């Protein structure tokens, strides 16, 4: 079959146009893709900045909480003990040697307790650095202090193997733990607190439950009261994890935080 010059011209022009348009389309597509890549990178950078900001905030909050605890303890505990020491010593009558000896002994006891409390405080201050050495130890230290100071019954269990430490994630998780505890102190009226730290399938799972009065989670979230709860979700999300809050009025609360951790 022979084709005419006109037919050939049409066919040739069509093929040439197609072969010209195809690379033009490709170049346009690559430019478009590249712009999307730029947008994605900008978003990634923004997320990174937001994470760094939140991390810094968490670090400052951890510090603030420690200082608040120290201030409270200095005022309520050590301050009282030292006050009692002064009062006891000022009441010493050196003429009555027997009573004086008794009072000096009591003052010595108060001073010793003060020293003990100051040492415990120093350990608490040190606890801030404990995060660098591991979350398990930092939580244990915080709980030790809390159990002593606030008269809660605390059950702490953990099953975390030796894994490389990710300081940023641990700081964030530690702060989430502190926030959860604060919520219990303020609202729960609990007697017992159970904390479980577990590692499974490359995820770190922190569970904090109490036997307090509980609350309606949805209602609190709707009323915009639950900024602490929003914070738990937001911060857990920032380290790629999630926070689940389960509570029933009259039946306590359970906060479960799960984060990827390799």
Partner 1 sequence: MLFTVNTTIELICFLVACVCLHRDKSAAWRLMIPYLALVCLTEITGIYLRKHLHVSNTWLYNVYQYLELTVIWSFLYFNLKPYVTSNKWYYIILAGLWVIFITETYIRGWNVFANISASVMSIVFIITSLYYFLLVIRDEAYLQLSTHAPFWWVSGTLLYYFGSTASNVFFDFLISGAIMSLPFPLRYIVFNILNVLLYCCWSYSFLCRFRQRNSSSSLV
Binding mask 187-226 for partner 1 (x = CB under 8 A): ----------------------------------------
Query: Cα–Cα distance between 201 and 261 in angstroms, integer?
Result: 9
Smallest separation, CB 21 to partner 1 (Å): 9
- Residue pair 193/231 in contact by the 8 Å Cβ criterion: no
As measured in angstroms, the least distance from the Cβ of 251 to partner 1 is 50
Binding to partner 1 by CB under 8 A, coded x per residue (else -) over 29-68, reads -xx-xx--xx--x---------------------------
Dihedral sign computed on CA atoms, order 240, 60, 214, 141: positive
Q: Compute CA distances 160 → 105, 119, 136, 140, 163, whole Å.
A: 46, 28, 8, 13, 8
Residue 24 is a binding residue for partner 1 (CB under 8 A): yes
Report the run of H or E that residue 98 belongs to, with start and end. Answer: helix 97-133
The whole-angstrom separation of Cα 93 and Cα 70 is: 35
Contact 158, 198 (CB under 8 A): yes
- Per CB under 8 A, the segment of 13-21, 101-109, 115-123, 230-238 that binds partner 1 is 13-21
- CA neighbor of 252 nearest in space, from 219, 224, 212: 212
Q: Quick check: 23 binds partner 1 (CB under 8 A)? A: yes
The residues that bridge with 244 in the sheet, in sequence order, are 256
Interface with partner 1: number of residues (CB under 8 A): 20
Taking the least distance from each CB to partner 1, the nearer of 14 and 227 is 14
> Rule CB under 8 A: is residue 182 a binding residue for partner 1?
no
Task: Among 7, 10, 25, 27, indicate the residue that binds partner 1 (CB under 8 A).
Answer: 27
User: At closest approach, how far in Å is the CB of 39 from partner 1?
Assistant: 10
Strands of the 203-210 sheet, one edge to the other: 153-159, 192-200, 203-210, 253-260, 242-247
**Which residue from 1, 5, 201, 223 is in contact with partner 1, where contact means CB under 8 A?**
5
Q: Which stretch binds partner 1 (CB under 8 A): 26-34, 53-61, 168-176, 248-256?
A: 26-34
Instruction: Identify which of residues 30 and 47 has a Cβ nearer to partner 1 in the complex.
Output: 30
Rounded CA gap, 134 and 137, in Å?
A: 6
Task: Name the site residues for partner 1 (rule: CB under 8 A).
Answer: 5, 8-9, 12, 15-16, 19-20, 22-24, 26-27, 30-31, 33-34, 37-38, 41
């Amino acid at each position: 079959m022979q084709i005419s010059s006109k037919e050939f011209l049409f066919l040739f022009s069509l093929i040439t146009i197609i072969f010209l348009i195809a690379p033009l389309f490709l170049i346009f597509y690559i430019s478009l893709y590249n712009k999307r890549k730029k947008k994605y990178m900008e978003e990634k950078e923004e997320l990174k900045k937001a994470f760094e900001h939140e991390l810094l905030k968490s670090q400052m909050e951890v510090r603030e909480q420690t200082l608040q605890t120290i201030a409270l303890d200095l005022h309520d505990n050590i301050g009282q003990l030292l006050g009692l020491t002064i009062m006891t010593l000022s009441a010493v009558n050196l003429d009555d040697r027997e009573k004086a000896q008794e009072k000096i002994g009591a003052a010595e006891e108060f001073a010793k307790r003060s020293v003990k409390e100051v040492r415990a405080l120093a350990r608490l201050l040190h606890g801030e650095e404990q995060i660098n050495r591991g979350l398990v130890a930092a939580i244990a230290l915080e709980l030790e202090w809390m159990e002593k100071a606030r008269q809660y019954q605390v059950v702490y269990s953990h099953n975390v193997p030796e894994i490389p430490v990710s300081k940023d994630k641990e700081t964030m998780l530690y702060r989430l733990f502190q926030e959860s505890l604060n919520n219990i102190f303020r609202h729960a009226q609990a007697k017992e607190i159970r904390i479980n730290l577990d590692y499974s399938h490359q995820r770190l799972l922190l569970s904090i439950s109490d036997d307090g009065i509980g609350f309606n989670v949805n209602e609190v979230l709707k009323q915009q009261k639950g900024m602490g709860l929003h914070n738990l979700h937001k911060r857990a999300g920032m380290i790629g994890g999630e926070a689940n809050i389960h509570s029933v009025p009259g039946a306590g609360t359970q906060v479960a935080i799960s984060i990827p951790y390799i």
